[in-house]
A and B are shown apart, each in its own frame.
Chain A
């Protein structure tokens, strides 16, 4: 659980400096955002709707070019030949014409890699090896989102971006998916950046929680979560957990949104 202060250049996996973004219609989404992610860390970004959280996520993933500022991955030049990243959205966005198995295969097909054993083991990891030949229409919301997670990891990306990944699920499934995600993250060497509306979810899952507020959005608070792992759901009952949640809530409300 590294904090920003103790990080040196070579323990930084991803670094964003002074990133701002203005959409073509003139709306400024985010302003002067700087952050760094340690390799293998889990960072959550919380904040009110519309502050530009998803915009920042897309910029970090190289899907959107920032209007100013730069994002660099490791020591590679900024977005010269960006490596593929893994991405999971609020909606599962599975291709309805592909089976679960073929959906997970997609990133490998794009890269021209044939690795059926990887697809198989990821389906096992998300607990869906029995549903390999089911179509998305035959899967429940939680199952479909697990397939989406497997798809985001099958090409072994170094960066996994999660944009409100459990936002469309019911509360119970959401909690269970959070625990699953923890388990999968422990099993794979991947740096996770997650956007969420749920402060408790952020605290339960992340090493560090970033708070974004204001219009345009700025990062106004870094909260390091020094809770022991593995974290069980019962952790939420502890005072340490609740204090962190309260602190983050206060940071959001302080901004007056």
Chain B
């Protein structure tokens, strides 16, 4: 509240034009307009429909690959140089290429989101699996547990806290990924498209509305993972 008040005071005292720094009241006014005419919801739904598959596919690809890298030194030696090198190229630089290769506007955007969330999840899967104490492996071995039992009863739950931490990072990054995808492929849909058009039209208050909506989506994604975490790691709350 204090922040909002300061912001409003700043715009009035500074006498900035609405297209340079709109006040909270201007933003609110613009929000009411786009919220009531359905534009905000329409574009938000498009972005969300890219964010969620982006995160899910990223998770589904990164988790088995992370497992392979953590469990097989050979796979790690072969693959990790490429994986790390691929991270040296900014996604924003590959994104235009992807739009050429992937015909579908929708899937090229999802793919950018996948690329962004992939790496932090992968790293956390590996870190999570490496955190399993070797003596617990020996314990499972002493019980003559099968590979699957070791995965199910030891590795999966033991790696879960670190995996979920990676998923939280991935959840917020997935929104950035979808937005980058929309920037390079601004075909009349999505919050990224709305942002670009608002900027061209000097509707700075609309830019603010979009930015706030994006952070709301990112926060909700984070919140969803945090909720899952609360349930999955309920043993941590026992004191």
Kindly state whether residue A63 has any CB partner on chain B within 8 Å: yes
Kindly state whether residue A107 has any CB partner on chain B within 8 Å: yes
Question: CA–CA, A155 to B140, complex, Å?
Answer: 13
Name the residue on B nearest A157 (C-beta): B142
Residues 149-187 of chain B: 1 if any A CB is under 8 Å from the residue's CB, otherwise 0?
Answer: 100011001101000000000000000000000000000
Write out the residue numbers on chain B whose beta carbons fall within 8 Å of the beta carbon of A96. Answer: 235-236
Kindly state whether residue A15 has any CB partner on chain B within 8 Å: no
Q: Are A86 and B157 in contact (CB under 8 A)?
A: no
Q: Are A95 and B135 in contact (CB under 8 A)?
A: no
Q: Are A84 and B143 in contact (CB under 8 A)?
A: yes
Q: Are B157 and A106 in contact (CB under 8 A)?
A: no
Answer whether A58 and B138 are a contact pair too, CB < 8 Å, given A82-B144, A111-B143: yes
Write out the residue numbers on chain B whose beta carbons fall within 8 Å of the beta carbon of A107. Answer: 143
Residues 73-116 of chain A: 1 if any B CB is under 8 Å from the residue's CB, otherwise 0?
Answer: 00000000011111101010101111100000011011100000
- Which one of A84, A97, A134, A135 lies within 8 Å of B142 (CB-CB)? A84
Q: Which residues of B (220-239) have their CB < 8 Å from a CB of A?
A: 233, 235-236, 238-239
Name the residue on B nearest A99 (C-beta): B235
Write out the residue numbers on chain B whose beta carbons fall within 8 Å of the beta carbon of A95. Answer: 136, 154, 157-158
Kindly state whether residue B64 has any CB partner on chain A within 8 Å: no
Kindly state whether residue A61 has any CB partner on chain B within 8 Å: yes
Kindly state whether residue B33 has any CB partner on chain A within 8 Å: no
Question: CA–CA, A87 to B142, complex, Å?
Answer: 7
Kindly state whether residue A138 has any CB partner on chain B within 8 Å: yes
Question: CA–CA, A110 to B148, complex, Å?
Answer: 10
Question: CA–CA, A62 to B153, complex, Å?
Answer: 21
Name the residue on A nearest B149 (C-beta): A110
A interface SS class: loop
Question: CA–CA, A93 to B143, complex, Å?
Answer: 14
Question: CA–CA, A134 to B235, complex, Å?
Answer: 10
Q: Are B153 and A110 in contact (CB under 8 A)?
A: yes
Write out the residue numbers on chain B whose beta carbons fall within 8 Å of the beta carbon of A111. Answer: 143
Write out the residue numbers on chain B whose beta carbons fall within 8 Å of the beta carbon of A58. Answer: 138
Q: Are B239 and A97 in contact (CB under 8 A)?
A: no
Chain A interfacial residues counted at CB < 8 A: 29
Write out the residue numbers on chain A whose beta carbons fall within 8 Å of the beta carbon of B133. Answer: 91, 93
Kindly state whether residue B145 has any CB partner on chain A within 8 Å: yes
Write out the residue numbers on chain A whose beta carbons fall within 8 Å of the beta carbon of B139. Answer: 87, 89, 93
- Which one of B142, B149, B160 lies within 8 Å of A63 (CB-CB)? B142
Write out the residue numbers on chain B whose beta carbons fall within 8 Å of the beta carbon of A93. Answer: 133, 135-136, 139
Closest Cβ of chain A to B97, distance in Å, is: 43
- Which one of A83, A89, A137 lies within 8 Å of B239 (CB-CB)? A137
Question: CA–CA, A61 to B138, complex, Å?
Answer: 10
Kindly state whether residue B215 has any CB partner on chain A within 8 Å: no
Question: CA–CA, A58 to B142, complex, Å?
Answer: 9
Q: Are B238 and A91 in contact (CB under 8 A)?
A: no
Kindly state whether residue B188 has any CB partner on chain A within 8 Å: no
Question: CA–CA, A111 to B146, complex, Å?
Answer: 10
Answer whether A109 and B153 are a contact pair too, CB < 8 Å, given A82-B144, A87-B142, A97-B235: yes
Q: Are B238 and A138 in contact (CB under 8 A)?
A: yes
Question: CA–CA, A85 to B143, complex, Å?
Answer: 6
Question: CA–CA, A135 to B233, complex, Å?
Answer: 12
Q: Are B239 and A138 in contact (CB under 8 A)?
A: yes
Write out the residue numbers on chain A whose beta carbons fall within 8 Å of the beta carbon of B32. Answer: none
Kindly state whether residue B80 has any CB partner on chain A within 8 Å: no
Question: CA–CA, A209 to B236, complex, Å?
Answer: 42
Q: Are A106 and B143 in contact (CB under 8 A)?
A: yes
Question: CA–CA, A93 to B133, complex, Å?
Answer: 8
Answer whether A85 and B142 are a contact pair too, CB < 8 Å, given A95-B154, A95-B157, A109-B153: yes
8 smallest A-B Cβ distances: which pairs? A135-B238, A87-B142, A110-B143, A97-B235, A110-B145, A97-B157, A84-B143, A93-B135
Listed A/B pairs (8) with beta-carbon separation below 8 Å: A58-B138, A83-B144, A87-B142, A93-B139, A107-B143, A110-B140, A135-B238, A155-B143
Interface residues of B (CB under 8 A from A): 133, 135-136, 138-145, 149, 153-154, 157-158, 160, 233, 235-236, 238-239
Interface residues of A (CB under 8 A from B): 58, 61-63, 82-87, 89, 91, 93, 95-99, 106-107, 109-111, 134-135, 137-138, 155, 161
Known interface pairs A89-B138, A97-B160; 17 further A-B residue pairs with C-beta atoms within 8 A, sorted by A's residue number = A58-B138, A63-B142, A82-B144, A87-B139, A89-B135, A91-B135, A93-B135, A96-B235, A96-B236, A97-B157, A97-B158, A109-B153, A110-B145, A135-B235, A137-B239, A155-B143, A161-B142
